[in-house]
Amino acid sequence: MLAGVALAGCAALSACSKKHHAVAAVPAAPQIRSGETGLASWYGHPYHGRPAADGEIYDMEKLTAAHRTLPFGTWVRVVNLTNDKTVDVRITDRGPFVENRIIDLSHAAAAAIALIGPGVARVRLDILSIPTPASGENWYAVQAGAFLDPDRAERLRASLERDFGPAHLVQRAGSPPLWRVLVGRVPSEEAATALAQQVRGQTGTAFVVRLDTRLDPAARPAEATRDAP
């Protein structure tokens, strides 16, 4: 019986003798959520003067911001829902790495919408323009934690890798640096959201982040593989 199934499978594939090859999944187009609402915060020192996630030097007096998933170069109008003040910012960094917050503004952007005093406010994000990401830049992962202690980060990474597959650490520059624990490499936000729900059951906190080729090894395009002749 098994032989018959095997022969039928060979016929369906046209020839069992052909070489097998696997091609990496193609990431989907980025999901754009115009009108996203949530909490905004702001950041300045000690990140002022250091490289942002897109590689440029962060200047807290320019109108920039950090977002977890929007492509670098996206322009966003931020509306402070407590006072209706608005500011337009360009996404140059990743964050905020705090549950329930959706954007981290530069000092200048925060001042423009009267966010400096309260520190956190509820906002709405309206997308003004978004660049087309280069091939291989629409991958997502789940951030399960961030630690100052690299040993703690490694222990969590190893534990999550046993349960959920490949996980890795990404260092965020600082003094001292912050070690982010990322799980998975999936081609859509929807798939990453589903993974985050599973991870959250173990860690208590988890959120979706975009993988960036420059920073995250897991985001670098994988070449197609072929079996040996």
Residue with tokens 């000092």: 107
My answer on whether 121 and 100 are in the same domain is yes
The pLDDT assigned to 46 comes to 87
SS3 199: helix
pLDDT over 70, % of the chain:
76
Please give the pLDDT value at position 190: 93
**Is there a single domain that holds both residue 120 and residue 144?**
no
What per-residue confidence (pLDDT) applies to 142? 96
Report pLDDT for 171: 86
Same domain, 60 and 117: yes
Reported pTM: 0.74
The strand pair at 86-93 and 178-186 is best described as unpaired
16 is a domain residue? no
Residue 114 lies in a domain: yes
Query: Which of 129, 161, 182 delimits the end of a domain?
Result: 129
**CATH at residue 78:** 2.40.40.10
CA distance 81 to 123: 5
Model pLDDT, residue 100: 86
Residues of the chain with pLDDT under 50: 1-28, 219-229
* Confidence at residue 14, expressed as pLDDT on a 0 to 100 scale: 38
* Same-domain status, 151 and 71: no
Matching residue, tokens 């989907």: 28
In a domain, 225, yes or no: no
